[in-house]
Amino acid sequence: MPKKIVAFLGCGSWGGALGDVLSKKGYNIQFWHRNSDTCHEMEISRKHYLLPSIVFGKNVSFHSDINFAINGAKYIILAVPSQDMRSVVCRIKDSLNPKSYIVNVSKGIENETLKTMSEVISEIVGDIPNFITLSGPSHAEEVVKKKPTAIVSASNNILAAKEIQNLFSTNKLRVYTNQDLIGVEIGGSVKNVVAIAAGFCDGFGYGDNTKAALITRGIKELSKLGTCFGANTETFFGLAGIGDLIVTCSSVHSRNRKLGEMIGRGSDLKSVLSKSHMIVEGVKTAFSIKKICEKFEIEMPICEAVYKVLYKGSDPEQEVDLLMTRNLKSE
């Protein structure tokens, strides 16, 4: 019996790494990338354009026609930047099989609507019984090297969450289930903003004390925003919360932390982004969180400081000083 088809819409580092995992399990992978030249390059070289250590087998194909890429797919993995999610889903909504599993692996909050990815997608295609978000502490660079990793399959439908758990699980990639979809989405979004702040501190040469304080207070901000959205507080003390926050604030692979570090060393945002070959989701998410905080009158001082540095040109070291000299309070 032939293996089922898995379509990946978006072929960046994370989509590429997950596609590599499933291709090695024998699934037929159909990648979509908006750039036909990039598709052709990967088709010929059989290597990923961002992760050249990946060598794709014959069960992997590349397409610039998005509807062709999803043709026959039981599983559709959405691996595009969060701010592009709406336009991509609009392009496939009329071709979707209602029985397909729709899996979001992007982390962000839409700027214009302040909606999470599940809210954006359901607004376009309606209720999706088999919608899942895959999240957690997982750098693509380590997954492709088969370094043990644990992530979360989150869905309001536990059977759908278990389906994706079984789909992606290997002896090196352990997948847990979680029914707090909104909590997992908020955790994956906010941690990127806190990681930019962690990068500021690295750029200044601050130490372990600073990083520990930042991560601890950062989890408080994740929890605060999550509660506003109706999330389960316990989610933020699991893989999609503290787990993802730790790795994103600490790892050399973290794009968000790296961006913060370069700004902390004196670079400006525009020049840092121009040198990056990958999307740094925390930049746009910082804008969304600022607007949410204004709308619901929530205090998130770390995220507020990041917003001011990125969008108002504030001095990052001065923002750290302001954080440290706020009114004293109990923990």
Catalytic positions: 191
Q: Mapping DSSP to helix (H, G, I), strand (E, B) and coil, where does residue 264 land? A: helix
Burial of 243 (0-12, 13-18, 19+ CB in 10 A): buried
Among candidate residues 170, 167, 96, the one with its CA nearest the CA of residue 132:
167
Pairing relation of β-strands 5-9 and 173-178? unpaired
Tell me if 262 sits within 8 A of 203, measured CB to CB.
yes
How far from 111 is each of 120, 212, 240, 291, CA to CA, in Å?
A: 11, 29, 22, 9
What lies within 8 Å, CB to CB, of 10 at 6+ separation is 32, 33, 77, 78, 79, 80, 81, 88, 106
Residue 14 amino acid letter: W
Q: Which two tokens stand for residue 327?
A: 């009114």
